[in-house]
Structure 1
Amino acid sequence: MYKLINSCSKSRLIPLLSESTLYKSANLVLGKYSRSHSSSESSSSTDTYREAINYDVVIVGGGPAGLSAAIRVKQLCQQKDADLSVCVVEKGAEVGAHILSGNVFEPRALDELFPHWKQEEAPVDVPVTSDNFWLLSKNHTFSLPSPFDNNGNYVISLSQLVRWLGQKAEELGVEIYPGFAASEILCNEHNEVTGIATNDMGVAKDGSRKENYQCGVALKGKFRRVTLLAEGCRGSLSEKLIKKYNLREKGQGQHQTYALGIKEVWEIDADKHQPGSVLHTVGWPLDQKSYGGSFLYHMKDRQVAVGLVVALDYQNPFLNPYEEYQRFKRHPAIRPLLEGGTVLQYGARCLNEGGFQSIPYPVFPGGAIVGCSAGFLNVPKIKGTHTAMKSGMLAAESAFSVLQEGLKMETYWDNLRSSWIWEELYTARNYRPAFKYGLYPGLALSAVEHYILKGKFPVTLNHGKPDHEATREAKLSSPIEYPKPDGAVSFDVPTSLYRSNTNHDHDQPSHLHLRDPAVPEKVNLPKYAGPEARYCPARVYEYIPDDTGDLKLQINAQNCVHCKACSIKDPTQNIEWTVPEGGGGPGYTIM
């Protein structure tokens, strides 16, 4: 449980956790913090200044990468008799609230982080029992050899595993602040990152301060400081630093490419439930030029994770990923499993698919980028949790050496390239770009790469166009007719959105900014038929008639599930995704 203590115009983050954390929090309340009056840390008001709380390591994002990093720093402190302060700031209302993933979990990194995780009751307890791979046509299924080696892996809820990692981090003395969104990077006069600032809370839509106004807080490093960004796919601060320091060009050099994952967790009849059963499909409902596929993972307690992943380099602007997912569930091989069941939760999230070619140089002055913010997903495995965790651990080890031994953060890059992450992503590097030639050429090329060449093809394939550039004009594309929801296995967006537990304070400035407000009506609507209304899985963007009958873009920011698809797929890159007030967004519990 966490509490915000308010003192006049000041705000202080106080975690109510263990006795040791309470002691540290009491020190903060008693004034053992520094107040900053530099211009870079002043709030939006000229008469108010942020409180600055100092930590040795500041981590943005309470996901698997960020929490693994925090845990590893504290483990090293125990092993080497050191005392470093570590905090994690998380924009979700609680740890795990914004976590969504498939997830067939490979425990390799968890084995390294907690060798006795089974005895410590980690929520990893449904081993994979079967593994099938189907090619779908509209009415039939064709069984293919499974390219996935899921022996020793587990079907899990990642949001539940992250909650467990949060508890382990707290036990080690990590201070976690959920409900506070990191909105700004703080730098010194040498252009070095010194920490982050959370956004102000209690600001009305018109920019005025409401009665519950709270000034944001600066979370800063000390003399030798380390800031780790673990925001997940398309992290807003991470993207800014990647551009600011040209990290993409300094790394592997290619642009990142993405997919949108849409997922539900169902409770099904007991006689249909097979704990540990794993199914992946390719083909229908997507056309042969659009990359993607589905998954069905049988969890425990009669629960099944059902999802569709659609690569965002699709060409037809009329394609609607949400409706494609609804169509998928109607397939004659899928529908019988779901009929009579109940949807427990719905959500959506983008994922990195660029792999090896798209890894940026992850070190910036003052810190590093870890996890899916950098993009370590193994596409042919459809797994990124283990690599995200490992990257966090490697960054933590480098951060510890910076703070205790005076070494440089660049050791993270060196250690990353000599780790099993690098080897794994290198051998998988040609799988995703092979599908730019279409479904069947992609299957053939990836089969040769996987089964014959074992990832040792002498050439590294390039990705195609960036996702937003792949979108064709509407006049070159055909509209797609989608069936109406039946209320049994397919549903409309408002029904699904309700199941995501998404909530934002309606009276706050929109966190979705149009760089040019005229672009939607002047470019996107006439040229691309208004794709915002289709690629968003939460109906954030709608074209509605104004008083004159002309269509205008309306942004329903309160619907946002934080998937980030809009910032990726918008053809003109006119949408900037920024963090809303902390604590807003989805409220996942079993995703």
Structure 2
Amino acid sequence: MNDTPTRESMEYDVVIVGAGPAGLSAAIRLKQLDAELEVVVLEKGSEVGAHILSGAVLDPCGLDALIPDWREKDAPITVPVKKDNFYLLGEAGHVRLPNLAMPPLMNNHGNYIVSMGNVCRWMAEQAEALGVEIFPGMACSELVYGENGEVAGVVAGEFGKEADGSHGPSYEPGMELRGKYVFLSEGVRGSLSKQVIEKYDLSAGHEPQKFGLGMKEIWEIDPAKHRAGTVTHTMGWPLGKNAGGGSFIYHLDNNQVYVGFVVHLNYKNPHLYPYMEFQRFKHHPMVAALLKGGKRVAYGARAISEGGWQSIPKTAFPGGALLGCSAGLVNVPRIKGNHNAMLSGKAAAEAAVEAIKTGRSGDTLESYDAELRSGPIARDLKPVRNVKPLWSKLGLTASLGLGGFDMWTNTFGFSLLGTLKHGKTDAESTGEAKDYPKIDYPKPDGMLSFDRLTNVSFSFTNHEESQPAHLKLKDSTIPVTVNLPKYAGPSARYCPAGVYEFVQEDGAEPRFVINFQNCVHCKTCDIKDPTQNIVWTTPQGGDGPNYPNM
């Protein structure tokens, strides 16, 4: 075993992990408030935006608060929503839900269809113009703790490990980047955020976080079918009673549409294959009519935090704060979280600046957590807090009526239901294979639907193969001895990138294979594995998907 490497250290006022909308908003706000602060943003993707995947219909309220003149600064936010459609699908048809029946918060008037990857690239330019240092390709693999147990920094930029974990000939130990405060804006189920939540017991008194798996393709379609600014959401087929979830179809510019599908990860039947549900969805007559004659140009996937208000852990801890999706700030019925990510970054920055001005460092930014639970983020999330638990407990049809009623009453500031609980984690929700029927999925046709590995090539994913696998097993025997016989090996299906497979040759015992090179960093395995035996960690910096304009 190698000795602990000697690392150089750099000091900053604030260290930010992740160049998503939350981290970049925090960086921008810090420099707006005090231009002399030393601020660094560390991004594991090869460039800012490379690992950003979101729907996305953007509510600009977060950006309005952060950069009020963004419209004059050539922001890539140019396609306003012109039309909202809500459909309930059956296998062969659909019913449109009237917009007037929707609570006002579901109205997309004033929102924009965007590529959040491109929005983040633009935000990075704004941050750098203010003097923020941004380092892409710098995965943060470890936390650094101070003398009093506070988070004091991170280790970033470790390269050159061999497959067995030993130091190769080109090994670089990385650097310690230390700060008065460390902001974790890693996105959903971030590896460092997960450690911090456990170490400081931040989820105590809160419901378990819930998740969905979001898969997305970009299509170029026939110009005659393109309607820029049209937003369509569907529920129902093909999931039916097998799982909660739904779809989105957003018409942006240049004859492109975003086609996405979300499967709630609390499904019980381990035979469910979320990726194939997505592919089957595109064969619905309404969707197929739109896509026929077009071509898919990109694919990606990521987990989505869905627990909402009840599941937000304490967001401040000794030495730092959880921002954006690391805290779980998605509004599930609106399918939006980027605005709350920006608002959380702004609030964390303001709390840190106030603390630094008074000579503090390494303590808990209680004012940030208080603002998150009383300010605009709270006003966005509290009214919809019961939608997800109702859907989980009652199913789609019943939850549509009762959830809609609850959102309407919350419009007037009260809820007859109070605050419902989630109960089980998504991993605990997984049932045993013997109790559920197998599901037959049609073979992809190569025109509307595609096999998983072919689609992964459209995520432009790459990992250096000589490094250790970043997907760790707590016990290497469990996949074959427990998960395969008891749950029918669900990792072979819940992963949207084909990372996991059970291989059996010539009558030999099955082997569990991890094709980590395919990983698109969605974190589904870390969430859904029924035995919680898989741990997602960061690969070396720059590896993973390279999304062009997701």
Distance in 1 (CA, whole Å) between partners of 2:429 and 2:93 is 30
Equivalent residue for 2:177? Answer: 219
The amino acid of 2:204's aligned partner reads: E
For the pair 1:68 / 2:19, whether they are aligned, the reply is no
Equivalent residue for 1:7? Answer: none
Distance in 1 (CA, whole Å) between partners of 2:166 and 2:523 is 27
* Match among 440, 459, 470 for residue 500 of structure 1: 459
For the pair 1:578 / 2:537, whether they are aligned, the reply is yes
* Match among 180, 197, 201 for residue 242 of structure 1: 197
Structure 1: runs of 5+ lacking an equivalent: 1-43
Equivalent residue for 1:371? Answer: 324
Distance in 2 (CA, whole Å) between partners of 1:366 and 1:431 is 34
Distance in 2 (CA, whole Å) between partners of 1:89 and 1:382 is 27
* Match among 133, 153, 173 for residue 111 of structure 2: 153
Distance in 1 (CA, whole Å) between partners of 2:189 and 2:539 is 15
Equivalent residue for 2:431? Answer: 472
For the pair 1:169 / 2:134, whether they are aligned, the reply is no
For the pair 1:59 / 2:13, whether they are aligned, the reply is no
Of 275-284 and 190-199, more deviation after overlay is shown by 190-199
The amino acid of 2:142's aligned partner reads: E
Distance in 2 (CA, whole Å) between partners of 1:500 and 1:518 is 31
State the shift of 1:409 in Å: 1.4
Q: Structure 1 residues 531, 282: closer, same or farther in 2, change over 3 A?
A: same
Equivalent residue for 1:191? Answer: 149
The amino acid of 1:402's aligned partner reads: A
The amino acid of 1:244's aligned partner reads: K
Equivalent residue for 1:381? Answer: 334
Contact 2:270 2:432 in 1 (8 A): yes
The amino acid of 1:492's aligned partner reads: D
Distance in 2 (CA, whole Å) between partners of 1:264 and 1:154 is 18
State the shift of 1:417 in Å: 2.2
Equivalent residue for 2:312? Answer: 359
State the shift of 1:389 in Å: 0.5
**Structure 1 consecutive aligned stretches of length 4 or more whose deviation exceeds 6 Å:** none
Distance in 2 (CA, whole Å) between partners of 1:451 and 1:52 is 53
For the pair 1:202 / 2:160, whether they are aligned, the reply is yes
State the shift of 1:378 in Å: 0.7
State the shift of 1:291 in Å: 1.0
SS at match of 1:386: helix
* Match among 213, 222, 242 for residue 260 of structure 1: 213
The two structures, once aligned, show a CA RMSD in angstroms of 1.3
State the shift of 1:496 in Å: 0.4
Distance in 1 (CA, whole Å) between partners of 2:202 and 2:384 is 22
The amino acid of 1:510's aligned partner reads: A
State the shift of 1:206 in Å: 2.4
Contact 2:11 2:178 in 1 (8 A): yes
Equivalent residue for 1:116? Answer: 69
The amino acid of 2:27's aligned partner reads: A
Per the normalisation by structure 1, the TM-score is: 0.90
Aligned length: 539
- Aligned runs of 1:519-530 on 2, under 5 Å? 519-530=478-489
Select the structure with the greater relative contact order (CA < 8 A; seq sep ≥ 6): 2
Distance in 2 (CA, whole Å) between partners of 1:117 and 1:397 is 20
Contact 1:378 1:428 in 2 (8 A): yes
- Aligned runs of 1:248-397 on 2, under 5 Å? 248-249=203-204, 253-397=206-350
Equivalent residue for 1:87? Answer: 40
Of 67-76 and 48-57, more deviation after overlay is shown by 48-57
Per the normalisation by structure 2, the TM-score is: 0.96
State the shift of 1:165 in Å: 0.4
The amino acid of 1:287's aligned partner reads: G
Of 350-359 and 547-556, more deviation after overlay is shown by 547-556
Equivalent residue for 1:431? Answer: 387
Distance in 1 (CA, whole Å) between partners of 2:245 and 2:380 is 21
SS at match of 1:347: strand
Q: Structure 1 residues 212, 547: closer, same or farther in 2, change over 3 A?
A: farther
SS at match of 2:427: helix
Of 115-124 and 542-551, more deviation after overlay is shown by 542-551
Equivalent residue for 1:552? Answer: 511
Distance in 2 (CA, whole Å) between partners of 1:103 and 1:476 is 37
Contact 1:127 1:154 in 2 (8 A): yes
The amino acid of 2:71's aligned partner reads: K
State the shift of 1:265 in Å: 0.5
Contact 2:213 2:265 in 1 (8 A): yes
- Aligned runs of 1:399-548 on 2, under 5 Å? 399-406=352-359, 409-436=365-392, 437-454=394-411, 456-458=414-416, 459-546=418-505, 548=507
Contact 1:289 1:439 in 2 (8 A): no
Q: Structure 1 residues 452, 419: closer, same or farther in 2, change over 3 A?
A: closer
Q: Structure 1 residues 47, 443: closer, same or farther in 2, change over 3 A?
A: closer
State the shift of 1:344 in Å: 1.1
Contact 1:277 1:298 in 2 (8 A): yes
For residues 90-116 of structure 1, the C-alpha deviation after alignment (integer angstroms, 9 at most, x for no partner) is 100000000000000000010111111
Equivalent residue for 1:5? Answer: none
